[in-house]
Structure 1
Amino acid sequence: MNGGQSLPPPSGQQVVRKRNYEPVKPEWHAPWKLMRVISGHIGWVRSLAVEPGNKWFASGSVDRTIKIWDLASGTLKLTLTGHISPVRGLAVSSRHPYLFSCGEDKQVKCWDLETNKVVRQYHGHLSGVYALSLHPVLDLLVTGGRDSVARVWDIRTKQQVHVLMGHKSTVSAVECQEADPQVITGSMDSTVRLWDLAAGKTMSTLTHHKKSVRALALHPTEFGFASASSDSIKQWRCPRGDFVQNFEGHAAIVNSLSLNSDGVMVSGGDDGSMRFWDWKSGHCFQDTATVAQPGSLDSENGIFCSTFDRTGFRLITGEADKTIKIWKEDEEATEESHPIDFRPSLSRRRF
């Protein structure tokens, strides 16, 4: 034996003292409040999209219609009919006068906003289409649905460029961005996949969630995104999908996530709960709930979709009480009137 001496560490390994975990201090954000309630749909509001000029927004509903609303006044400008099932996804092109919609009737439609008519249809999904996203620079549309694949379409020729296969269940969320990974999908098989668009193959699969991933949100300025399922909301760094942190505490099935360039993230649950988070620190600075319209049931309290307008100063939510609600920051709030209630937990959960 070596006479009671401690053995040196194996070569190539050093004993390093673990740094104490120091939580990031959250930035102060003003609380948000309800500004307007818009009624007009006769079914749940399942999808929303704001046009690039920030003048109007579109909503898609279980009543099979798409309605165009004036963003400033909340007045109805137009109703588009043509889907024969709930409209689950909407996107407005920033480079063409086109609105894209998809629904549970397996249809993906391209509407010409100058004539308000369907000019193209994209056939190929074998079941309901639950999500769609436009590529910001290429003329491509990506749709995901209950047939467990994401399909990449050439907008002009209507051809399928790729069928992104790999998910084992419904693809419930799709996001596109300029740099790799250009396509990110979230699925009911509780995984998030990052795709190589040129090859049509998976770059990486994120398996940290335990339950269905129902929502994704890209950060407008940082190279990262968030994914939400009913067990947690997680923040990731692109391009490889490195895990950053958990946003803990939203105990509901989270149907929608929205992010603005101010670093405010909003998660909406199917029990009507809404949480506002600071992106950098993961701190929840406001925990509120939407109120169902008078005359509707308490169970109609869910939030199905949400989006910020182009400025990030207005939040639009689509809800189970058939209304669209518009929220804004409380202008009178100050750091003194609404101080940050920040109590960091000492332990840091890795995944």
Structure 2
Amino acid sequence: MDKFEIELAATLKGHQNPIFTLEKGYFPNTFFSGGNDKGVVEWDLEKKTFKRILCAVSSSIYALHLIPNTSYLAIALREGKVMIVDVEHQKLVANLEVSNKAIFALQSIPTKNELVAVGEDGIASVWSLADFKKIYEFAISSNTIRTIALSYDQKKIAFGDKNGDLFLFSAEDYHFLLANQKHTMPITSLIFSRDDLQLLSGARDAALKISDVATLKEQFGFVPHMFTVYGIYPHPKYPIFATVSRDKTIKIWDEEDYALLKVISRDKFFDSHTLSINTGLWVGEDPYLLTAGDDKLIKVWKMTMS
């Protein structure tokens, strides 16, 4: 990995409450944010300014998911609904009554044209993206599920629950494959490695675990932060990933050996966040790293290779 520098390119203000989720936009150089405010905000990344309120919502937003190859944004709400909004025409397409409890995570499966929603009731709800009707549902855990990960080949789907358990299912027919307790506290972030051979999980126990997908046995683990690991974000081009945490820090890691490459925090003299960082996102042609959290701010970080 070549050397790189990171600098703050912009601080975006406008949210009145904590931000929980960021998602790439449908239009070039745009992205979305949501949280405890009663609306989804669209931002212009090129101008680094507010663009518009996409839509109003009736409760807190816990997840945003732009459905691939469409202009549809799925919005997961605390009240148990998932709104589908056409970003291009700014209109509500569907209002999915998923649960009477909070929905925390969304994942589409493009090869099947399906959307999976999970949340507080521990049940996965599968919806057709052709007509937005429920196809199937299956129980994962008796505990809250906060995170989903889909393998790159779209054949496996993983879930992490409040007990620290990891669950692996087939994404092709949703049959159960494996489960294993990986953490001592709730799992809050989850991704597959680029080759689909490993699962990376972060949790409220401040640990990051790397597990073998074939067996769910732990291969390696370390403590990247002082508190909850809220997100793990692979760079779109380089073999590095970022993590964000309740400890107010952003860290950049080498994918090959998990070496720490960079710490972004106020302690390191960056104009970074003052409260918990709840979410992150790499976005743009020459990707920016976006971070947001309880301080109601979105930070735009520019990475320069040297």
State the TM-score, normalizing by the size of structure 2.
0.89
AA of the residue aligned to 1:88: Y
Aligned equivalents of 2:266, 2:195: Cα separation in 1: 29
Alignment match, 1:309:
283
The answer on whether the counterparts of 2:151 and 2:157 sit within 8 Å (CA) in structure 1 is: yes
- Select 1:253's aligned residue among 208, 215, 228: 228
Aligned equivalents of 2:231, 2:79: Cα separation in 1: 22
Instruction: Show the 5 A alignment for 1:198-209.
Output: 198-209=172-183
Find out whether 1:222 has 2:195 as its counterpart.
yes
Q: 1:151 and 1:252, CA in 2 relative to 1: closer, same or farther beyond 3 A?
A: same
1:69-117 Cα shifts (integer Å, max 9, x gaps): 1121222222033321111111112211111111102110110122211
AA of the residue aligned to 1:234: K
Deviation at 1:245, TM superposition (A): 2.0
* Number of aligned positions between the proteins: 298
Alignment match, 1:33:
7
Alignment match, 2:254:
278
- Select 2:208's aligned residue among 191, 216, 233: 233
Deviation at 1:276, TM superposition (A): 1.4
The answer on whether the counterparts of 2:168 and 2:177 sit within 8 Å (CA) in structure 1 is: yes
AA of the residue aligned to 2:201: S
1:133-177 Cα shifts (integer Å, max 9, x gaps): 222332111111111122111122322223231313111011224
Aligned equivalents of 2:275, 2:137: Cα separation in 1: 36
Alignment match, 2:264:
288
Deviation at 1:242, TM superposition (A): 5.0
| SS of equivalent to 1:122 | strand
- Select 1:172's aligned residue among 146, 156, 163: 146
Aligned equivalents of 2:141, 2:286: Cα separation in 1: 32
AA of the residue aligned to 2:195: E
Alignment match, 1:267:
243
Deviation at 1:55, TM superposition (A): 2.1
Find out whether 1:140 has 2:114 as its counterpart.
yes
Aligned equivalents of 1:312, 1:187: Cα separation in 2: 34
Find out whether 1:118 has 2:92 as its counterpart.
yes
Alignment match, 2:134:
160
| SS of equivalent to 1:72 | coil
Q: 1:283 and 1:164, CA in 2 relative to 1: closer, same or farther beyond 3 A?
A: farther
AA of the residue aligned to 1:270: R
The answer on whether the counterparts of 2:152 and 2:192 sit within 8 Å (CA) in structure 1 is: no
Q: 1:191 and 1:47, CA in 2 relative to 1: closer, same or farther beyond 3 A?
A: same
- Select 1:103's aligned residue among 67, 70, 77: 77
Q: 1:64 and 1:177, CA in 2 relative to 1: closer, same or farther beyond 3 A?
A: farther
Aligned equivalents of 2:238, 2:202: Cα separation in 1: 20
Find out whether 1:73 has 2:65 as its counterpart.
no
AA of the residue aligned to 2:218: F
Which deviates more from structure 2 when the two are superposed, residues 40-49 or residues 305-314?
Answer: 305-314
Find out whether 1:86 has 2:60 as its counterpart.
yes
Aligned equivalents of 1:242, 1:179: Cα separation in 2: 21
Alignment match, 2:270:
none
| SS of equivalent to 1:59 | strand
Q: 1:170 and 1:31, CA in 2 relative to 1: closer, same or farther beyond 3 A?
A: farther
Aligned equivalents of 1:155, 1:275: Cα separation in 2: 36
Deviation at 1:201, TM superposition (A): 2.6
The answer on whether the counterparts of 1:180 and 1:239 sit within 8 Å (CA) in structure 2 is: no
Q: Which has more radius of gyration?
A: 1
Deviation at 1:271, TM superposition (A): 2.5
Greater share of strand: 2
Q: Which runs of 5 or more structure 2 residues have no equivalent in the other structure?
A: 268-272
State the TM-score, normalizing by the size of structure 1.
0.78
Q: RMSD of the TM alignment (CA)?
A: 2.2
- Select 2:218's aligned residue among 235, 240, 243: 243
Aligned equivalents of 2:181, 2:45: Cα separation in 1: 38
Deviation at 1:206, TM superposition (A): 2.9
| SS of equivalent to 2:110 | coil
1:303-334 Cα shifts (integer Å, max 9, x gaps): 01111115473111112111111112245xx5
Deviation at 1:53, TM superposition (A): 6.0
Identity of aligned residues (%): 19
